[in-house]
Structures are given as C-alpha cells and as structure tokens.
Amino acid sequence: MASIVPISQSVGANRIIPTVAIPHPLGNPTLDEKGEKALRRKLVEKALDALHTDVKEQTVF
C-alpha cells in the first residue's frame, strides 16, 4: 500500500494499492474520525481483496 505507484512498480512490487498521501497514506486529517476510519477500512479491504487475487504480473488494484 503506497502513495506513489510508479515507485512501487520500479522496485518490483506485484500487488499495489494506491493510498491517500505520503504523510498519511491510510488517513486524511480533513475528515472526521468516523469518516477517516471508513476510508481506512475501504483501503484495507482493497488490500485483502488483492491478497485473495491471483496475479501474473505487477498489478495496481
């Protein structure tokens, strides 16, 4: 899970989840606590989905 997809690709990561921003990849300070946790949950669920999926090459989910 990383905010700059091209960098993850260049270092060889195979399952990549784009995230929010560098200082807070899985959060956003402008949202309220509930909103931010919902955002984080959506991103983590995407990660779990990626772990569940077979991939042949570098894939951005």
Partner 1 sequence: MAYRVIHYINQFFGGIGGEEKADIAPEVRDGVAGPGMGLAKLLGDKAEIVATIICGDNYCVGNQEEVGKFIVDTLKKYNADALIAGPAFNAGRYGMASGFACSAAAAAGYTTLTGMYPENPGVELYKANTYIVPTTDSAAGMGKALPVMAALFAKILSGEKLGTAEAEGYIERGVRINTFYEEVGAERAVAMLLKKIKGEPFTTEYKMPVFDRVTPRPGVKDLSKATIALVTSGGIVPMGNPDHIAASSARNYGGYEIDGVTDLVSGKYQTAHGGYDQTYANQDPDRVLPVDVLRDLEKEGKIGKLYHTFYTTVGNGTAVGNAKKWGEEIGKQLKDNNVQAVILTST
Partner 2 sequence: MQANFTAGADTPKQICFFCDGDALQVLVAARDLIHMGWKLVHHPLYGNYRPHQQPYRSILLQREAENSGLSHEQNPTQDQSLNPAYQCLAPDPASLQLIEAALDVYRADRVLNPQQVPDVMLRDCSQLDYELMRLPLEQAGWEAA
| 34: contact with partner 1 by CB under 8 A | no
Does the footprint of partner 1 cover residue 47 (CB under 8 A)?
A: yes
Distance of CA 55 to the CA centre of its chain: 16
Q: Is 58 in the site for partner 2 (CB under 8 A)?
A: no
In 1-61 the beta strands, taken as DSSP E runs, fall at 15-16, 59-60
Residue 55 touching partner 1 (CB under 8 A): yes
Does the protein bind partner 2 through residue 42 (CB under 8 A)? no
Helix (H) or strand (E) holding 39: helix 33-52
Residue ranges in contact with partner 2 by CB under 8 A? 3-7, 20-24, 28-30
